[in-house]
Amino acid sequence: MTLHQLKVFTAVAKFKSFSLAGEELRLHQPSVSIAVRGLERDLEVKLFETFGRKVRLTRAGEELVRIAGEILPILDGVKEKLAEVTGLKKGRIRVGGSALAAASFLPIVVHTFKKQHPGVEVILKIQKSRLLEKKLLDGELDVAILSRTPHYPLLVSELYRAEPVVAIAPPNHPLAKKNCVSLELLAKEPLVITEAGAAIRDAVEHAFAEKGLVLTPRLEVDTELGARDTIKNAVAAGLGIGFLSKCHVMGSVRGGRFKILKVPELNEVKRIMYIAVHRNRESSPNIQLFVDFLRGLNGRSQAGARAAVESLALIMHKTTEQGENVPSEANTSFLTSLRLQASRTGD
């Protein structure tokens, strides 16, 4: 049995198709079939049953999928582990991020990490948290930033960041002039928010329910349709009060497009992000390096936080000067929060 055979087998098991497995691995279908037949011959068992074009795992195949799920993550880290022994910082890490992480900080963090460690290739995938969890389980990702705690026991996580959720209104809205706005007042206004089941919607509904109120939006926005920009445009057009993560609106607030309403009951409403990895995968030096880098950015260590902040600030300053990829309002807000965290760490 070879590592190549095992990887081909898991791809066929995942897609339940020899042709799709070949496309994923960039192999011709005959090569896929040869690898699987060779594995069956070596193990002296039948791994798949075919019914026309359909492929189904045998009981032996199901057991091998479980075993491969434990073995492959460990083997994938061997190259980087040996690089640690030889003192080399080379290799590849595959990082996943939810939409919230991608919009607020992750791309510029990855860019900064690559600047500091040019020998390490970083592959970034942005998807919904449930899809990122599946990729961690399948060994397609090394680490992910999720917008929820993992649902699978084979994934372990730690709380990483908490992004405040705020209510926004146009500057000329009557509530924008108040020093304090209660949820009771908000409940009487037309509201613009994401669809039921979305993280922000759930968090805000919970805050309303604690006050005995029912959240009844005028406009519900499908998260698949660019909810953030849709909510901003709806609020700017006067359709209602909107709810978004604070990091996504600070640029527009500074530009005078919106005001953040002062709602005490929303102070504890936050969107939580988690760092997640596979429980059975041995943490390679590069993965650990990246996770430690993330922790430093979150103010877990004074030196790490300050060094990361200065690197980010330098890159963002140079990028703006060159007129390319000007930092988003979320990234600018993220850098501001990092400076605050770094200064607090040193107190």
Number of domains within the chain: 3
DSSP-derived letter for residue 277 is E
pLDDT confidence of residue 82: 67
Q: What are 243's strand-pairing partners?
A: 167
Same domain for 266 and 283, yes or no, is no
More confident residue, 135 or 285: 135
Residue 91: closest CA among 77, 81, 80: 80
Interacting residues of 263 by C-beta distance below 8 A, sequence separation 6+: 166, 167, 180, 181, 182, 183, 186
Q: What confidence score (pLDDT) does residue 287 get?
A: 86
State whether 149 and 176 are in the same domain: no
What average pLDDT score do residues 249-263 get? 93
Least reliable range by pLDDT among 39-43, 82-86, 308-312: 308-312
Q: What letters, b where the CB count within 10 A reaches 16 and e where it falls short, cover 114-128?
A: eeebeebebebebbe
Residue 277 near residue 155, CB atoms below 8 Å: yes
Task: Let me know if 89 is exposed, middle or buried by CB neighbors in 10 A (0-12, 13-18, 19+).
Answer: middle
Tens digit of each residue's pLDDT (9 = 90 or more) over 64-83: 998 888 888 777 667 666 66
Q: Are residues 134 and 63 in the same domain?
A: no
291 plus 150 within the same structural domain: yes
Residue 200 belongs to a domain with what CATH number? 3.40.190.10
Query: What's the pLDDT band for 259 if we cut at 50, 70, 90?
Result: very high
Domain end, chosen from 224, 239, 270, is at: 270
Give the span between the Cα atoms of 96 and 74, in whole angstroms.
19
* Containing structural domain, residue 318: 79-154+279-345
Statement to judge: residues 18 and 50 lie in one domain: yes
Residue 301 has pLDDT above 60, yes or no: no
Domain match, 187 and 251 both: yes
Domain of 61, CATH number, reads 1.10.10.10
Contact in structure between 273 and 146 (CB atoms under 8 Å): yes
Checking if the pLDDT of 347 tops 60, the result is no
pTM exceeding 0.75: no
Over residues 205-228, the pLDDT tens digits come to 999 999 999 999 999 988 766 788
Considering the domain architecture, whether residues 185 and 101 belong to the same structural domain is answered as no
Residue pLDDT, tens place only, 31-46: 999 999 999 998 999 9
Residues ≥6 apart with Cβ < 8 Å to 14: 21, 24, 138
Q: Are residues 213 and 290 in the same domain?
A: no
Whole-number pLDDT of residue 84: 59
212 & 301 share domain = no
- For 124-157, how does the pLDDT look when each residue is reduced to its tens digit (9 = 90+)? 998 888 899 999 998 889 999 998 888 898 999 9
Residue 345 has pLDDT above 90, yes or no: no
Whether residues 59 and 111 fall in one domain: no
Last residue of a domain, one of 54, 72, 90: 72
Tell me what pLDDT residue 162 has.
85
- Same domain? For 172 and 232 the reply is yes
The verdict on 149 and 292 lying in the same domain is yes
In the chain, what is the straight-line distance between the N-terminal and C-terminal CA atoms, in Å?
Answer: 57
For strands 270-278 and 155-169, give the pairing.
antiparallel
Cβ(240)–Cβ(219) under 8 Å? yes
pLDDT exceeds cutoff 80 at 325: no
Closest CA to 308 of 320, 325, 290: 290
Residue with tokens 């080399």: 88
- How high does pLDDT run on average in the chain? 81
**Cα separation, 190 vs 239, whole angstroms:** 7
- 339 pLDDT above the threshold of 50: no
Q: Of the candidates 72, 88, 113, which is a domain's last residue?
A: 72
